[in-house]
Chain A
């Protein structure tokens, strides 16, 4: 009986299924009023979380429009994590399909960048593996090696200067993208955290491809065959502490 009640309540709250009404005592206020109080609280909690994660997006859209867009997303996307900080991972994909923001061609990538920044800040600390043994590996052993990116890292490729848009809207500044030249070459980023410091690194396309191959779980042999700057990138990534571990 208790599981059924909880199922009906969740369906009522999230999917406006009115079966739960018959479970509620309506003598003081109606079942719908009771449920509405909880629905408002649920939506308000997720909206507050999204305002914290996407301050630049909010500035670009204006507070009222941003709230309306978030509420549309919240209605369509139940929270499936106990940790509210993990909510809205799919907001960028939602924005891509959201017609009223069609003209803001850079918006979904700004959202991806803000999500990556938030994720980097929140991710649990790890101890980096000692990579010095790699120096003694012969070529055949190195080729069969797999590397892992640090868990805080997000790889982002964008056709727009989202890093410039993001920077122009930090520390109380608010610069409209109209003042930023959008007509530039695609840009590639790593968004990650080292110790207490989060970073947005603008990287070369070739290094981005290298990191993408690592993320896609290719071994170093396969990556080397497709990347002429393999050794240079490997050294760069080790110097920047982009890797957390290795295995065979």
Chain B
């Protein structure tokens, strides 16, 4: 498997609303994450933006298109386009989600959780292995936020995530906001969840804002990061040490400087952890 160039510090999720600003101002952001599905198989200006940013910054690729938990066959066309983009742009990290997004050629474009069973773990791990073999690189899988639980689950979500990483020998993108949202929605202890994560497999963390919806939290990526998520992030960095961390924002996207302020906050937490470790 191909080793990829390392990144560090706090990156920002690149969105079309900020293309012009980033190209013009060239902020000191150490790296950007691109939602790679938005670029695959498209041409014209869309491809040109990707070319431009790849020349300015280290990039990571984040997708939803592998649908790693689905019972449909892996989409070879999608994987082929992804492989071509990886070979062209050499991203520092490639990630997708521990979920499924559709079945029998119907797609929900949402991150549907798996039942936490032995059968599901073996199924998704086998597909991660196939994807890694095809792409010739290890990938990161991200824990998703969820709003439903299956009766058939045989283990906790945290146990499932750790088990799948082990079975597939893949890396983990630990989304701190998703842990908090799911912990609130399903009434489990987020810190106990952290304690079960495989430290050596965590290669990146995500931070984002949620939205309160009465008796549950919705992972909208449309607000600043909430205090309990910062607290959990601090706990995660204390436990695992500094990891490349991403600020995500997808709805009601504000000016780039707002994301930079969030990145600065995360950077301070990373710096404190590194000072403490030294």
Give the distance in Å from the alpha carbon of A82 to the alpha carbon of B153 in the complex. Answer: 28
**Chain B residues, CB < 8 A from A23:** 150-152
Q: Of residues 1 to 29 in A, which have CB atoms within 8 Å of B's CB atoms?
A: 1-3, 5-7, 9-10, 13-14, 22-25, 28-29
A196→B42 contact, CB < 8 A: no
- Partner of B45 from A29, A34, A38, A196 at Cβ < 8 Å: A196
**B187 contacts A28, C-beta separation under 8 Å:** yes
Most buried by A among B43, B48, B78: B43
The yes or no answer to B5 lying at the interface (CB within 8 A) is: no
A168 close to chain B: CB less than 8 A = no
Find B42's partner among A5, A34, A79, A124 (CB 8 Å cutoff).
A124
Contact B151 A22 (CB under 8 A): yes
User: Are the CB atoms of A34 and B147 closer together than 8 Å?
Assistant: yes
Contact with B along A169-181 (1 / 0, CB 8 A): 0000000000000
Q: Assess whether A84 is interfacial by the CB under 8 Å rule.
A: yes
Size range of the chain B interface in the assembly:
35 or more
Q: Which residues of A contact B105 (CB under 8 A)?
A: 80
A-B contact count (CB 8 A): 115
Residues of A within 8 A of B56 (CB): none
**A84:B109 contact, CB within 8 angstroms:** yes
The reply to whether B110 and A45 contact each other, CB–CB distance below 8 Å, is yes
A82 and B75 form a contact (CB under 8 A):
yes
B115, A5: Cβ atoms closer than 8 Å: yes
- Given A22-B151, A125-B44, A196-B45: A13 and B108 interface contact (C-beta under 8 Å): yes
**A14–B105 CA distance with the chains assembled, in angstroms:** 13
- A84-122, CB under 8 A of B: which get 1 and which 0? 110000000000000000000000000000000000011
B95 at the interface (CB under 8 A from A): no
B90 within 8 A of A: no
| Mask: chain A, 111-150; 1 = CB below 8 Å from B; 0 = not | 0000000000111111000000000000000000000000
- Rounded to whole Å, the gap between the CB of B154 and the closest CB of chain A is 12
Q: Does B129 sit within 8 A of A, measured CB to CB?
A: no
A37 to B40, CA, bound (A): 29
Closest to B115 in A: A5
Measured in the bound complex, the distance between the Cα atoms of B42 and A23 in whole Å is 39
Q: Which of B42, B102, B106 has the most CB of A within 10 A?
A: B106
In Å, the complex CA distance between A42 and B101 comes to: 10
What is the bound-complex CA distance between A42 and B106, given in angstroms? 12
Chain B residues with CB under 8 Å of A81's CB are 107
A165 interface contact, C-beta 8 A? no
Which residue of B has the minimal Cβ distance to A151? B43
Q: Which residues of B contact A195 (CB under 8 A)?
A: 44
A200 at the binding interface (Cβ < 8 Å): no
Q: How far is the CB of B149 from chain A (nearest CB, A)?
A: 4
Chain B residues in 8 Å Cβ range of A82? 65, 67, 75, 78, 102, 107
Pull 22 A–B residue pairs with CB atoms less than 8 Å apart, ordered by A.
A2-B117, A3-B103, A9-B112, A24-B149, A24-B150, A24-B151, A28-B149, A28-B187, A37-B148, A37-B218, A38-B108, A42-B108, A46-B109, A79-B102, A80-B106, A82-B78, A121-B46, A122-B43, A122-B46, A125-B47, A126-B43, A196-B44
List 9 additional A-B contacts (Cβ < 8 Å) besides A37-B147, A81-B107, A82-B67: A6-B70, A10-B104, A24-B151, A25-B153, A37-B216, A37-B218, A121-B46, A196-B44, A196-B48
A interface list, Cβ under 8 A from B: 1-3, 5-7, 9-10, 13-14, 22-25, 28-29, 31, 34-35, 37-38, 41-42, 45-46, 78-85, 121-126, 152, 193, 195-196
